[in-house]
């Protein structure tokens, strides 16, 4: 750079010397052109044409930092994924969808010639392991395009802030949309547990439900959803007849929770657990004679439950919420994802979780494209780019998402509701279905397209619903 500037200065000085030695009637005018170029106009002797010379300004250069190889034009992203823990059956599919997305993008030329490499670590949904794995990769990645869990990400948040590490959390805690809490480094996807619960309560209200039982994990996952349920109960004039907030402890006997639900006689039970524990509670309550319906936060359900002995119960009494459309639903974005996944894994079974991972990658791609356009691929530049992104387009697979403005302006409030249909799922082949199968389905039938209920619409979202 310095040599280029010296050369330009020499040219400029020589032009001035030449002008001073010319006929006294000659005039020379130098002006700055757009983009930093320099334009020099020299008046010719009488009867001649003026001469104009434009010297281009030095081209702006990309600024890079950790996790970016500027010479090879390679961007390295991290994934801190639960591949063996409580949510592994969902997260494996989410992670594989990201891998396919980036592989396909790289094969098509990347982002303006920049390709993306992934560093994937298994955290086992364990806080200590999550911190260890983050320490392992923090110096090698510019951002993290998927990080599983609420408690794990909360534990690492101060480190993320220290590193200016942009993170897409596989967690829908409402605090991730509040920059005063997360320092602007957490890039939430879809709606959050709190607003999700408000919309589910709106759906229950439409279905005639008036009494609610609540059963959740402790911590920001379960209790953020519980906060939303309680706001919704008050908004819709319902009654909370069993309060099992934070009562569901993984690895412990769930009999007290089951007994609480049954004794309450609730019209509806809202659960925020993982799929296996949710199934234990639902089956236990129904077998004990409970007549009410069940629903819960998105991670509580897995379509693979239709393969289990609890499958008929889910078909009969469960309604699932959804941040995205389901596998088999035709939208431009979903069709692209399904074709790519079928080509990569033709013999895998359908999963709605593929959509989650694919959409995470779409969001990160737009952030990186914005940072590249800003000529700043430093970690700080990526965080700044994320905060300016508007209208991430998922091609109809989920509502578009923005991150610019105030939390109350940009927070995603939309949700869809589905009904697991065991007969549909079984007719398509059940667990034997493959991604290459034209009629493959997870059995999730859309019963209410993306909507925003009155409680979610009116909620003043200026702080997390459950504050840590």
Closest CA to 440 of 356, 357, 349: 349
Q: Are residues 300 and 422 in the same domain?
A: yes
For residue 221, count other CB atoms closer than 10 A to its CB. Answer: 24
- Taking residues 385-412, report their average pLDDT: 96
Residue 214 lies in a domain: yes
- For residue 19, pLDDT over 50 is answered with no
- For residue 427, pLDDT over 80 is answered with yes
Report the alpha-carbon distance of residue 374 to residue 385 in Å, rounded: 8
* pLDDT score of 28: 37
Q: Are residues 290 and 252 in the same domain?
A: yes
Q: Are 288 and 380 in contact (CB under 8 A)?
A: no
Q: Are residues 439 and 385 in the same domain?
A: no
The residues near 374 (Cβ < 8 Å, ≥ 6 apart) are: 381, 384, 385
Residue 181 lies in a domain: yes
- For residue 406, pLDDT over 50 is answered with yes
Handedness of CA 399, 330, 334, 174 (dihedral sign): positive
CATH number of domain containing 132: 3.40.50.2300
Chain Cα centroid distance, residue 283: 32
* pLDDT score of 319: 98
DSSP string, 270-336: EEES-HHHHHHHHHHHHHTT---EEEE-GGG--GGGGGSTTHHHHHHHB-EEESSPPTT---HHHHH
Number of domains in the chain: 2
Residue 107 lies in a domain: yes
Which of 27-41, 304-318, 434-448, 449-463 is the least confident region?
A: 27-41
- For residue 32, pLDDT over 50 is answered with no
Q: Are residues 79 and 113 in the same domain?
A: yes
- Three-state secondary-structure class, residue 417: strand
* pLDDT score of 22: 40
Specify the pairing of strand 63-64 against strand 74-81. Answer: unpaired
The residues near 343 (Cβ < 8 Å, ≥ 6 apart) are: none
Q: Are residues 384 and 311 in the same domain?
A: no
Q: Are residues 228 and 316 in the same domain?
A: yes
Residue 58 lies in a domain: no
Residue 406 lies in a domain: no
Q: Are residues 216 and 240 in the same domain?
A: yes
Structural domain boundaries enclosing 105: 63-191+329-400
* pLDDT score of 468: 86
Q: Give me 281's structure tokens.
A: 């509670």
Which of 3-17, 297-311, 352-366, 425-439 is the least confident region?
A: 3-17
Residue 260 lies in a domain: yes
Residue 421 lies in a domain: yes
Q: Are residues 433 and 315 in the same domain?
A: yes
* pLDDT score of 60: 82
- Taking residues 161-175, report their average pLDDT: 97
What are the tens digits of pLDDT across the range 290-320? 999 999 999 999 999 999 999 999 999 999 9
Residue 246 lies in a domain: yes
Higher pLDDT, 115 or 28: 115
- Taking residues 221-226, report their average pLDDT: 97
What are the tens digits of pLDDT across the range 384-397? 999 999 999 999 99
Q: Are 176 and 403 in contact (CB under 8 A)?
A: no
What are the tens digits of pLDDT across the range 264-295? 999 999 999 999 999 999 999 999 999 999 99
* pLDDT score of 46: 46
Average pLDDT, the chain: 90
Q: Are residues 223 and 343 in the same domain?
A: no
Q: Are residues 85 and 113 in the same domain?
A: yes
Q: Are residues 257 and 368 in the same domain?
A: no
Q: Are residues 178 and 239 in the same domain?
A: no
- Three-state secondary-structure class, residue 73: coil
Could you give the percent of the chain with pLDDT greater than 70? 87
């Amino acid at each position: 750079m310095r040599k280029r500037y010296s050369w330009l200065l020499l040219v400029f000085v020589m032009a001035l010397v030449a002008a001073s030695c010319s006929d006294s009637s000659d005039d020379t005018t130098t002006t700055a052109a757009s983009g930093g170029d320099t334009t020099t106009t020299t008046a010719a002797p009488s009867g001649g044409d003026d001469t104009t010379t434009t010297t281009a300004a030095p081209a702006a250069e990309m600024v890079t930092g950790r996790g970016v190889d500027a010479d090879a034009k390679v961007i390295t992203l991290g994934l801190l994924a639960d591949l063996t823990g409580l949510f592994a059956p969902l997260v494996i599919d989410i992670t594989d969808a990201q891998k396919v997305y980036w592989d396909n993008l790289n094969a098509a030329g990347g982002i303006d010639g920049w390709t993306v490499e992934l560093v994937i670590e298994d955290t086992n949904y364990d806080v200590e392991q999550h911190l260890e794995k983050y320490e392992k990769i923090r110096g090698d990645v510019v951002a993290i395009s998927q990080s599983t869990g609420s408690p794990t990400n909360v534990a690492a948040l101060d480190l993320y802030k220290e590193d200016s590490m942009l993170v897409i959390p596989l967690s829908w805690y409402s605090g991730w949309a509040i920059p005063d809490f997360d320092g602007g480094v957490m890039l939430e996807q879809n709606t959050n547990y709190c607003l999700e619960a408000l919309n589910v309560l709106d759906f229950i209200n439409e279905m005639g439900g008036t009494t609610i039982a609540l059963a959740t994990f402790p911590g920001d996952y379960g209790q953020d959803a519980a906060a939303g349920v309680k706001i919704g109960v008050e908004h819709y004039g319902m009654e909370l007849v069993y309060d099992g907030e934070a009562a569901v402890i993984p690895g412990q006997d769930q009999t007290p929770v089951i007994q609480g639900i049954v004794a309450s006689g609730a019209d509806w039970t809202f659960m925020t657990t993982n799929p296996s524990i949710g199934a234990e509670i639902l089956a236990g309550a129904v077998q004990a004679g409970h007549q009410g319906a069940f629903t819960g936060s998105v991670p509580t359900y897995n379509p693979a439950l239709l393969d289990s002995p609890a499958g008929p119960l889910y078909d009969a009494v469960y309604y699932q919420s959804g941040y995205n459309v389901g596998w088999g639903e035709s939208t431009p974005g979903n069709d692209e994802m399904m074709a790519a996944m079928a080509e990569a894994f033709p013999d895998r079974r359908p999963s709605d979780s593929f959509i989650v991972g694919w959409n995470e990658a779409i969001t990160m791609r737009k952030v990186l494209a914005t940072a590249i356009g800003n000529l700043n691929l430093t970690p700080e530049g990526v965080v700044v780019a994320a905060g300016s992104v508007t209208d991430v387009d998922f091609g109809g697979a989920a509502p578009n998402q923005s991150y610019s403005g105030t939390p109350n302006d940009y927070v995603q409030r939309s949700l869809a509701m589905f009904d697991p249909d065991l007969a549909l799922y079984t007719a398509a082949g059940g667990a034997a279905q493959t991604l290459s199968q034209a009629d493959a389905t997870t059995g999730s039938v859309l019963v209410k397209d993306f909507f925003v209920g009155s409680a979610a619409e009116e909620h003043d979202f200026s702080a997390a619903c459950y504050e840590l």
